[in-house]
Structure 1
Amino acid sequence: MYEKWGIKNEYQVKLMDYVKGETSGCKLATLKIDGKYAYGWCKHESGIHRLVRISPFDSQNRRHTSFASVTVFPNVNEDDNSDRVNIIIPSSDLKIEAFRSSGPGGQHVNVTESAIRITHIPTKIVVQCQFGRSQHTNKALAMTMLKAKLYDKAIKEKRDAKQEQYSGLPKNSWGSQIRSYFLYPHRLIKDGRTGLETNKVDAVLNEGELNEFMEASLIYYKKKTNDLFI
């Protein structure tokens, strides 16, 4: 869905990591979306998304509810002096491991240990990248991901220091999904924050038609915080 959205809006989209589910589907995927205002558009997609459908894996055709957690991080530019938080990562804080790629890919996948996993020891944050064509490329991309996560963590800690200002915002928890996608018994997508609804389920899920939801979320959070860029 987000890959289709990025391509539709002429962003550069790159699959950074992919982990298959234990029985089927996808357990984890990491996308990098590059382009002007990409983070601004996507940042409020962070949260829990709920899917209600008749599972194709259930022989009794029962209704199943699935949850997916979406997290959006900014791509922090080391040369950008406008950063509100300065991220410094000493090499002594890193554990870097090489391993063989396991996700979908071309002829280079599983040939050499070119995939990279980096653990930030103080925070225990782990990132990995396996779809670059070399270990050097994957390491650089993984470091970009790590810095983005550390930046996001630091920003959230600053927000927590002013918790009363954000007390009206919904929490990202399994009991408070931000959006629900109903494929059964009716076809409907509803945003739990803005109240926006649409029956264009295929357009959203299969074609990435998310702009209407993203715009509504930006307006919602602007009213909540009086700061569109928080």
Structure 2
Amino acid sequence: MRERTSLETQIEGITRLERELDDALTLIELGEMEEDEATVTEGEQAIKAVQDEAARLQVETLLSGEADMLDTYIEIHPGAGGTESQDWAEMLLRMYRRWGERRKFKVETLEYQDGDTAGIKSATLQFKGHNAYGWLKTESGVHRLVRISPFDSNARRQTSFASVWVYPVVDDRIQIDVKESDCRIDTYRAQGAGGQHVNTTDSAVRITHIPSGIAVACQQERSQHKNRAKAWEMLRARLYEVELKKREEKANAEAASKTDIGWGHQIRSYVLQPYQLVKDLRTGVSSTAPSDVLDGDLDPFMEASLAQRVYGTEVEVEDID
């Protein structure tokens, strides 16, 4: 039913565009016959609206992967650098939350570990909505920040790194078998909001898949039993995501970016000082408004990286004003 709804939506979009284009052309033709400049202008504006909508639908056609329509998880971890990197990781957390709100996705926090002084040690979000994984899948990698440190009394420039890891929520159609004997299960006390019960009992659960080294954690629920079930679901999703990466023959590069959060593995740089620039190192897309990007304006970066992945070549892009 989900696949059928997706196909129907795509077909309806094309049909609607054809109808709106015909109406706009008819409007222009009538305006020219009656020498009514206002009617001609209205028709031209309608054609521009059709053009913009066609461009949006063209991007949607890039989301045709096996798991693109699924919900998704995002894990964020700071790199080396203590408070600086932990604060940067929290900035990324807010950026993706804001992007999700713009897209009307439902965003839930599954795991959150406060930093030592500021920021976070780790966080896991779940985005629920059509094509959530498809949109976010190219965000996996290391993100680099250059700024004047707010934690340095000498106001020196600081470079920080944080990693983002994106993997799809596995639905009931996909069977992933995981042996419990291959896993280590740890419980610990949750952090953050949730009330006295959450913060004073070992309700949070972390599961480590020993053969692959993959670890997931959940502290969303007050019940350890519910967190354990959610963590198993997250682990199966991570293992499925690894298999998808193997099919794309990119597992080696992805593993390298996961294990080394630093120079040489970043996908995007965010420079706040001495100039203002966000640049994607894979596609060349850039923005001179970092504040907008950090507030969730990520679509141009995602669209370019999706096009590059689908077509397998460098894509021509324009800077974002």
In terms of Rg, which structure is larger? 2
1:195-214 Cα shifts (integer Å, max 9, x gaps): 11112211211x21111111
2:180 alignment counterpart:
91
How much has 1:167 moved relative to structure 2?
Answer: 10
> Bigger shift: 134-143 or 190-199?
134-143
Q: Pairwise mapping of residues 25-64 of structure 1 onto structure 2 (< 5 A)?
A: 25-64=119-158
2:309 alignment counterpart:
221
SS of match in other structure, 1:109: helix
- Kindly indicate whether structure 1 or structure 2 has the higher relative contact order, using CA contacts under 8 Å at least 6 residues apart: 1
Q: Pairwise mapping of residues 13-24 of structure 1 onto structure 2 (< 5 A)?
A: 13-24=107-118
For the residues of structure 1 that align with 2:225 and 2:306, how far apart are their CA atoms? 37
Q: Which runs of 5+ in 2 are unaligned?
A: 1-94, 314-321
Q: 1:48 to 1:168 in 2, by over 3 A?
A: closer
Q: 1:167 to 1:120 in 2, by over 3 A?
A: closer
2:161 alignment counterpart:
67
1:228 alignment counterpart:
none
1:24 alignment partner AA? A
Q: Work out whether 1:143 is the aligned partner of 2:232.
A: yes
SS of match in other structure, 2:168: coil
**Structure 1 counterpart of 2:205, from 105, 116, 121:** 116
- Contact map agreement 1:99 1:114 (CA 8 A) in 2: yes
- Percent sequence identity over matched residues? 49
- Contact map agreement 1:168 1:224 (CA 8 A) in 2: no
1:181 alignment partner AA? Y
How much has 1:17 moved relative to structure 2?
Answer: 1.1
For the residues of structure 1 that align with 2:284 and 2:212, how far apart are their CA atoms? 36
Q: Which runs of 5+ in 1 are unaligned?
A: 226-230
- Contact map agreement 2:113 2:192 (CA 8 A) in 1: no
TM-score, normalised with respect to structure 1: 0.84
**Structure 2 counterpart of 1:181, from 241, 256, 270:** 270
1:36-60 Cα shifts (integer Å, max 9, x gaps): 1000000000011100000100000
For the residues of structure 2 that align with 1:41 and 1:19, how far apart are their CA atoms? 26
How much has 1:168 moved relative to structure 2?
Answer: 11
SS of match in other structure, 1:118: strand
What root-mean-square deviation, in Å, do the aligned CA atoms of Structure 1 and Structure 2 show?
Answer: 2.3
For the residues of structure 2 that align with 1:5 and 1:188, how far apart are their CA atoms? 19
- Contact map agreement 1:105 1:131 (CA 8 A) in 2: no
2:296 alignment counterpart:
208
How much has 1:109 moved relative to structure 2?
Answer: 2.8
TM-score, normalised with respect to structure 2: 0.62
SS of match in other structure, 1:104: coil
1:122-172 Cα shifts (integer Å, max 9, x gaps): 323221111212212211221121111111222333444xx7xx9999x73
For the residues of structure 1 that align with 2:151 and 2:252, how far apart are their CA atoms? 41
For the residues of structure 1 that align with 2:227 and 2:96, how far apart are their CA atoms? 22
